[in-house]
Structure 1
Amino acid sequence: MTSIPQAAPTTGSLSNAGAPPATHSTPLVEVKNLTVEFPTEDGPFRAVDGIDLHIRRGETLAIVGESGSGKSVTALSLMRLIEFGGGRIVGGSIQLAGRDGGLRDLAQESLPAMNRLRGDEIAMIFQEPMTSLNPVFTIGDQIAEAVMLHQGLGRKEARSEALAMLNKVRIPEAARLLDRYPHQLSGGMRQRVMIAMALSCRPSLLIADEPTTALDVTIQAQILRLVRQLQDEMGMAVMFITHDMGVVAEVADRVLVMYRGKKVEEGVVDDVFARPQAPYTKALLAAVPKLGSLSGAPLPRRFPVLTVEGEAGIATEAERWQDTVEPAAPPILDVDDLFTRFEVRRGLFGRLTGRIHAVERVSFKVHPGETLALVGESGCGKSTAGRTIMQLQAPDSGSIRFSGRDIFAMPEAERRRMHQKIQYIFQDPYASLNPRVTVGFSIAEPLITHNLAKGAGVEERVAQLLVDVGLSPDHAKRYPHEFSGGQRQRICIARALACEPDLIIADEAVSALDVSIQAQIVNLLMDLQEKRRLAYLFISHDMAVVERVSHRVAVMYLGQIVEIGPRQAVFENPQHAYTRRLMAAVPIADPARRDRSRPLLEGEIPSPMRKLGDEPIWAPLVEVEPGHFVARHPVGDFA
């Protein structure tokens, strides 16, 4: 038996975490008129333009704004790392109140002096821990290195301090993890290691740059609560950079809103959320997906549209409901009793020692014009299910019927042609586009491969597809690096549409996008569904987005579907304990509803790997209301 991750016990330090922090009158950091430029062929580009901000001891300042607003450039300027990225501080001051009681201007400090300050008085957690950790050194060695460098301890003492820090960030079996490498840890564990490394010298200021963007909602909640708890214990100030307004409401004392390198609003978090003054802030908050916003509504609904004019932002509500399902029509996709497992071999002779039970007896249907959301944490099997349907992964058993025909019973040539009707949109659009060819060529490739257009017709079709996804035909001549993240995702959607598919599998297609870009992409997908009666399998861990986009929802845990039904039934009447705790972990974009006493999923999701002969216990789905099915596992236990 594998126990469900249990609710995290609340502690005394968290029970009053919503109280104002203990601050001092003199700011720890005070930035005045900070201006940062990058050289370009057309002259200097001003990424940060005259920013003023301050942070007091024990306080959390959240800096928010969409990509390109200057958030990360501001943080890197405080660390004086901006010079290593091609930028230059051309004006302003960054005053830091040191531990010795003196003030120093970091903008004027020499690089050797900054090397002594970084990690010691100012530390930073980066967005992607896998690229920030050295893959050839163990976790223990990397934390110990920072301790030896800044505290002058010997290797043995530094290793003991590394173990203490891993325990502080609540990593289970920390002593065993000291000798592991970054690739052997999950995303949540790696992010905790980064926090442990950043806190190893007990800095006065911690800069957290999008530390939870790519994490599952349950791991994100743990990391946010952990940072706040450590802040209370150590009395440090935190600069939290994010585009997730739910995270801001969860952790911040004050908020600074940036747009195109300038500060447009600053204030106490309750005031900014309740009474935003800048039009751009109002529009940004209006575009935030809020869990429960469709309570009582049976159908999905588009996001408010964010338009920006100068420094003004206008959000207009898209009133149309997504009534596109054809329930009387036969299902476009019928997955029945699907198993996908991976063999684990070890030793010199590759002896079979176990199996990863990625997908276990999964069954569901998708109708034309319907969006079925597949949700769950990393490792639950949702992406493996999507790849198996796309024939990128061979199943062990089960059937997948597309338009009434079993895909795996088809001849090989016909199965290849089936790829035309099932298309896949990946999470990272930059990684899924060839950087050496123009985007026009990437979109044209499936047209040529499947003989859907020839000669001048290819160019005309590419131009029309770019227009369909909100881009210009002229963009066909550009390369992927010349586009923003949101534009690249639109290009991937255009490429998927080139084959005129009936089903699109969107695997975390909007999880890493800014809230405004995310809303645009989701609305685009819904518009295309309305025009073409597309069916979507929408794989995600973002419950607030899932509520907006889906007609039905399937919740996965350790390869099994534990709950499936209409979106309204699952969200408003969740029956399975795992579904309830998954929703409880979603950050609420309202500081007035900040509640750190609510139960969280504690620890990592258990491993789906099992020894030979140790088969998981499967609980059949029971209908609890029309169309709403739940697995009746024994209380507290999962297979």
Structure 2
Amino acid sequence: MTTVTTGGGEPSEFVLEVSGLEVSYETPVLHDVGFTLAPGERLALVGQSGSGKSTTISAILGLLPGAGHVSSGSVEYRGENLVSADPLRLQALRGRSIALVPQDPMASLNPSMRVGDQIADALRTYGTSNSAEVTRNVVRLMTEAGIPDAENRRRSYPHEFSGGMRQRILIAIALSGEPDLIIADEPTSALDVTVQKQILDHLQKLVTERGTSLLFVTHDLGVAGERTDTILVMNEGRVVERGTPQQVLGNPQDEYTKALVKAAPSIVVEREANPTAAAPATAAPATVAAASATAAARTGSGDGQDGTTSANVLEVNDLHKVYKLRGRGKEVHALNGVSFTAKRGQTTAIIGESGSGKSTIAKIVLGLEKSSSGEVLAGGRNVDATSKVERSILRRFSQPVFQDPFSSLNPMWGIERIIREPLDVFKIGSQAERKKKVAEVLDQVALPASMLERRPADLSGGQRQRIAIARALISEPELLICDEAVSALDVLVQEQILELLRQLQSGLGVSCLFITHDLAVVANLADDVVVMKSGEVVEAGATRDVIDRPAAEYTQKLLAAVPGAGLLNA
């Protein structure tokens, strides 16, 4: 093994060596964590939320929050002890030598700066001063990170990009210092499979060509299995299992690891379509005059113009959405003639790459955006209704569950008020009746009544997502619109939320429009699937047909890009 030159300590064969690491706040939260990372090695830390993964990398970078501190053990970078290093030395190492690709781009990007300027700032910090060279490298880094039309898009602001595109900007910034150790904290959790593959391929190229080491924190066992040499499984602040991907995922020994592997969704379609539902969704809308009693009775919104109730909870017909780019006289066609239907009492998934138009459809259905042309019927009613009564009915008809529950829940409110808010807005029931309804819906999402006095910051990610679902359910909508609702969750919590959605659909008859980039989630949850690319529908039908027998070349490409399918589906 190659011996690396140190930055002040003794020569070491490792780029990173963690030994006996204990991190404490009031009490220890990490216990005797140890591992090594050789030049060019790829190591994954996996485990559920709270297992200690992020605390470990914060300790390595010297970025432990608040009273957090390393209470024992050591962290050595190229033989240099980082635990005892002064802040200026750590600051010099971060970025140029040890780069971090964080998970949340909106918390890391300056919303008031153009993205190209933010990448340029990093390049200048690392020694590039020539303006023309800076601009060339900005375009190169954005292109390498998978951002199309980088020459023009470098002038855009973070809010003008999708979540996946913003993550690519963070990766471009991290790569600007040409580090020899990259710490990637869930860098692809918000990305679709084809962009994920592109990013992972690029990281792999750095590892291969430059000997860059990669410490990869992820809840995606498929990514860990396919893209790393070694997997460390963490639980409650301890390393409980380590080995090659074949050993850890193919033949796990620890009971916790077995539970993780079992909970990981596979690309194999296991869910049979609801036999009571109408025919599969198609790429063209169709109103089926048939009774659908339960949901229509809840809100009185199921009647079409002819007085009948459609078997489709949602009908999208020739939908277009055009955005004008500020100051450039250009237009972006986010949706271009989109048509599909979603059936009552079932889950219809919309899948596609970042920028394919998935979230734009959700915003239009929810009334948060206006279409440029076309028609969307929710329960037979046009979502562009202008009367106050119609708008009120439509707001109750569809309720959202967003990707990040922490940003969609008011941090200053208690959980009871958060869940109760739709009842207050729609003036449903008396105070006593609202209080009773809150208790009922909390029970439906399998949370204890003691949760009502707490605030979002006191809850785990999975608990916050359950609260978001409870809030969406309390006004008894016919349609839940879940926009990447499980993409940021670890596999155990994700499996719990998906099972909750299945149970709610079975028990309440609620329909679900599930927007996701995760084909494995689609295979295990959705009855029908709509595949989108560049604002157009390329394929639609029953999930089993689309997954097992994809007709479109693009769908085949998506399926081929799913990481770790061989290990997890074995």
Q: What is the TM-score of this pair, normalised by structure 2?
A: 0.85
> Which of 26, 29, 37 matches 2:24?
37
Aligned counterpart in structure 1 of residue 240 of structure 2, from 240, 264, 267: 264
Q: Distance in 2 between matches of 1:484 and 1:272?
A: 26
* CA gap 1:465/1:581 in 2 versus in 1, 3 angstroms: same
Counterpart residue type for residue 159 of structure 1: V
Q: Does 1:124 align with 2:100?
A: yes
Aligned with 1:493: secondary structure? Answer: helix
The 1:445/1:275 distance shift into structure 2, 3 A limit, reads same
Task: Please give the alpha-carbon distance, in whole angstroms, between the structure 1 residues aligned to 2:543 and 2:81.
Answer: 54
1:333 to 291, 296, 313: 313
Match of 2:68 in 1: 87
Match of 1:75 among 57, 62, 67: 57
2:537 counterpart of 1:557:
no
Contact kept in structure 1, 2:401 and 2:469, CA below 8 Å: yes
Q: 1:536 and 1:256, CA in 2 relative to 1: closer, same or farther beyond 3 A?
A: same
What is the rounded CA distance, in whole Å, between the counterparts of 1:590 and 1:361 in structure 2?
37
Q: Give the Cα–Cα distance (whole angstroms) in 2 for the partners of residues 406 and 114 of structure 1.
A: 57
Deviations 1:399-441 (A, max 9, x none): 4444445555684313312322322222221222222221211
The 8 Å contact of residues 336 and 361 in structure 1, kept in 2 or not, is answered as no
Q: 354, 358, 364: which one pairs with 1:378?
A: 354
Q: Aligned partners of 2:118 and 2:335: how far apart in 1? A: 36
In 2 relative to 1, CA 367–592 (structure 1 residues): closer, same or farther, beyond 3 Å? closer
Aligned mates of 2:513, 2:152 — CA distance in 1: 39
- Could you say which residue in structure 2 is the equivalent of 1:436? 412
Whether the 8 Å CA contact 1:208–1:239 is kept in 2: the answer is: yes
CA deviation string 1:344-369 (max 9, x = no partner)? 2756xxx9x45443333333333322
Q: Deviations over 1:21-65 (max 9, x none)?
A: 989892222111111122xxxxx1423121011111110010011
Contact 2:44 2:232 in 1 (8 A): yes
Equivalent residues of 1:270, 1:592 under 8 A apart = no
Partner residue in 2 for 1:66: 48
**Equivalent in the alignment of 2:265:** 289
Deviation at 1:339, TM superposition (A): 2.5
Moved more, 238-247 or 532-541: 532-541
Match of residue 282 from structure 2:
none
**1:633 is matched with which residue?**
none
Which position in structure 1 is the counterpart of 2:13?
26
Contact kept in structure 2, 1:400 and 1:406, CA below 8 Å: yes
Q: Is the 8 A contact 2:46 2:218 kept in 1?
A: yes
Q: Distance in 2 between matches of 1:433 and 1:387?
A: 18
Given residue 77 of structure 1, which amino acid in structure 2 is its aligned partner? A
Which moved further from structure 2: 119-128 or 488-497? 119-128
- Cα distance in 2 for partners of 1:204, 1:247 equals 21
Check conservation: 1:202, 1:234, Cα contact below 8 A. no
Corresponding residue to 2:208 among 211, 232, 255 = 232
Amino acid at match of 1:93: S
What residue in structure 1 maps to residue 229 of structure 2?
253
**1: distance between equivalents of 2:247 and 2:436?**
51
- Structure 2 distance, partners of 1:75, 1:359, is 40
Task: Name the SS for the 1:431 alignment partner.
Answer: helix
Q: Does the Cα contact within 8 Å between 2:325 and 2:332 map onto a contact in 1?
A: no
User: Residue 490 of structure 1: which of 466, 474, 483 is its match?
Assistant: 466
Moved more, 551-560 or 414-423: 414-423
Relative to structure 1, the CA distance from residue 269 to residue 419 in structure 2 (aligned partners, 3 Å threshold; closer, same or farther) is: same
1:464 aligns with 2:440: yes
- In the alignment, the residues of structure 1 paired with residue 319 and residue 146 of structure 2 have an alpha-carbon distance, to the nearest angstrom, of 35
Q: Return the alpha-carbon distance in structure 1 between the equivalents of residues 156 and 325 of structure 2.
A: 20
RMSD over aligned CA atoms reads 3.1
- Find the partner of 1:520 among 496, 511, 517: 496
Q: Is the 2:398–2:477 Cα contact (8 Å) retained in structure 1? A: yes
Kept after mapping to 2: 8 A contact 1:331/1:365? no
Q: Which residue of 2 aligns with 1:50?
A: 32
Cα distance per residue 1:133-182 (max 9 Å; x no partner): 4455555655555555555x655597388456567657666666666655
Q: With structure 1 as the length reference, what TM-score do the two structures score? A: 0.76
Query: Taking structure 1 as reference, are residues 22 and 416 closer, same or farther at Cα in structure 2, changes over 3 Å only?
Result: farther
Alignment of 1:561-580 (within 5 A): 561-580=537-556
For structure 1, list consecutive stretches of 5 or more residues without a partner in the other structure. Answer: 1-20, 39-43, 98-102, 300-321, 595-639
Q: Which amino acid aligns with 2:311?
A: P
